[in-house]
Every structure is written in structure tokens, then in C-alpha cells.
Amino acid sequence: MGRKRQSRFDLPPRVYEHHGSYWYRPRYDKPINLGKDLPLAKLKWAELEDPANERGSLASLLDWYLSTVAPKKAPRTYADNLKEAVFLKNGLGHIPFRQLRPHHVATYRDARAQDAPVRANREKALLSHVFTKAIERGWVDVNPCAGVKRNSESKRERYIEDEEFWKVYNLAENSVQRLMMLIYRTAQRPEDLLKCGPGNIKKVRSGDKEIKVLRITQDKTGATVDVRIEGDLEDLVNECLSGKIVHSHFVHTRQGKRYTYSGITSMFTRYVKTSLVLDFGMYDLKGKAATDMYRSNVPLEQIQHLLGHKSVTTTERYIKARMPSLVNSNKVVMRANI
């Protein structure tokens, strides 16, 4: 709850005067300048507070979504939505959201595709979900994103060779090494693994035996995966538990605090640059894990469960995009050349 107003009781909630201008302070974002004219400032405030009013712009609808819907998403998704909304506001925010049409969305998509075609797809996906929520509340009847095609995207085909992995690993500090190995041994997303610690170690029954597993909840899919703790993963977990102080997260700063995804990714990127290995992202470790398991004859169904894919077909495409096409030559015996 915000502080109780001490003056200017004529101003609407969350509106303040500063240096002659009126400012609206959202709960989740930077202050918004409403201008110097109080009646106009109140109109803008009403639009921001209630996107369903007749004058509601797309910007106000986005603000409503970012304050009521987006915060319930996974932290990284929420952070991405905040960034995506900035571009949507710049391109379409001035249009009353009830007047937004598919041709507006298509024009925006094409303009953004000049510099960031993939990001344009993510922004369109956000816009579509915003209108889905608006439809549920009876504010609009149709979604202007319906029927507007996405920009084409090329699949990620990068496979990290063992030598490339070790080049980066051997340069990295312990926390980055630990995360690299956790990703490779579990095939999980780095964001999910950054939340893991001793509390994720569980004992479960497997037949007539009790085994230890690393229980991981995937933010993206909502699925819970139990990864058996054995082999190299067991060695890694034991290393995490062997210190004089056992911290609440396996991957942590020197002060014992949990790393943010952006923070440790920046560190990883620096080590990649120093190693001179080209085009190596942290998510490529997950792809390498799945591909290496497939090459070692691990059943696709097991890899699918680890990755959280809804179908084996998705898993197969995910893996084979990273594998070079290797086929035998034509060995059919031809008739003799007479």
C-alpha cells in the first residue's frame, strides 16, 4: 500500500505534481508524465486506471495487462513482457484498442521484421494474449491478431562439440562450471536450475528400492521432473553439499546468494568470448545434453520427459535439428556397362 497523501487531495490516486507537471506512478513501472494541464491529466489518469473506458488506448490496455496479468507469470516471462510492451507502445500504443485491426498488427510486424523478426513474433504473441484477456472481460469481441501470420523463424541448429564445451568450462569460475554441468547432466533450463538446492533432493520409491532424485519444476511447462541422482550428477550434488556452509542454492555467489539468470549469463558470455568459441549460448547446453543422450541410444520418450515436450515428435525435431545429416551412399548394384 502506498503512503497516505499529505497534500493535494484534489488529485486522483497515484497522481502527484512535480515541477509543474502531473505524474502517474504505476505499481510496476516508471512514472508517466500526464502533462501540465490538470483536467487533461485526469483524463489520461482515468484511461490508465480503467482501460475499458471509451477513450482507452492500446497503451492503457497494455498497462492494465502488465499490472494484473503479467506479474503472475514466471519471472523471466514477466521481464520479457515488460520489454516487449515498450515496442508495442511505441508502434501501436496511440491507437484506441477497440479500433485496432489486423492490418495495423501486420504493418507493425513488417516494420519490426526489418530489425528483429523473432522479437516481433514474441511481441505479437503478447499482444494476442492481451486481447484474449480483454475478450474474456467483454471489452472487445475479436482479437485483431487472429489471422495475422508470424514471421518465419529458422530453427536453432548449433551443436556444441565436447572440445568446445571444455574450452569454456576450463576458463569459467566454479559457479559457472557448476551450472554448465547441471544443465548438461539434467537437460533442464538454466532458469529452473538456478532455483535448485538441497531442498530439491528427494527420496522416492523405484520398485523395491529407495533412490534419491533431483526434483525440478519447470517454469515454462509447469511439469515436475524427478532426475535420478547418480553418476556425474551425484558427484556434482555431493560437491555442492560438501562445503563448510551448505547454501540454499547449488549455484550461488561468493556471499551465498542466488544468481539471477541475466547475471550468470553475462559471466558465461564473457568466458565464451575469451575461449574464442563462436556462437555458443547457455541454452545450447540443453540441446547438447538431449542430442548426446539420443546418440547414446537413450529412448526418445525418456528425453521427451526430461525436456518437458508434449510429444515425442517435438523432441525428435529438437534433437535432429542439431545433428548433421549423415546418410549412406547409394549401394544398389547397377547392370554392367555394355
What is the tens place of the pLDDT at every residue in 21-30? 999 887 666 7
Beta-bridge partner residues of 212: 203
How much is the mean pLDDT over the chain?
87
The architecture CATH gives domain 50-136: Orthogonal Bundle (1.10)
Residue 136, burial from CB neighbour count under 10 angstroms (0-12, 13-18, 19+): exposed
Count CB atoms within 10 A of the CB of residue 43.
15
Count CB atoms within 10 A of the CB of residue 220.
12
Residues of the chain with CATH 1.10.443.10: 162-320
Q: Residue 256 corresponds to which cell in the numbers above?
A: 551465498
The architecture CATH gives domain 162-320: Orthogonal Bundle (1.10)
Beta-bridge partner residues of 206: 209
Identify the three-state secondary structure at position 209.
strand
Q: What is the pLDDT of residues 302-334, one digit of tens each?
A: 899 888 888 888 888 888 777 765 555 566 667
Query: In the structure, what pLDDT confidence band is assigned to residue 165 with cuts at 50, 70 and 90?
Result: very high
Percent of the chain with pLDDT over 70: 91
Residues of the chain with CATH 1.10.150: 50-136
Query: In the structure, what pLDDT confidence band is assigned to residue 156 with cuts at 50, 70 and 90?
Result: confident
Eight-class DSSP state of 333: P
Identify the three-state secondary structure at position 82.
helix
> What pLDDT score was predicted for residue 331?
61
Where is pLDDT greater, at 97 or 53? 97
β 201-206/224-228 pair status: unpaired
> What pLDDT score was predicted for residue 173?
95
Residue 77 near residue 71 (C-beta atoms within 8 A) = no
Q: Residue 63 corresponds to which cell in the numbers above?
A: 498497462
Which helix (H) or strand (E) segment is 258 a member of? none
Identify the three-state secondary structure at position 210.
strand
Cα torsion angle, 269, 292, 215, 79, sign = positive
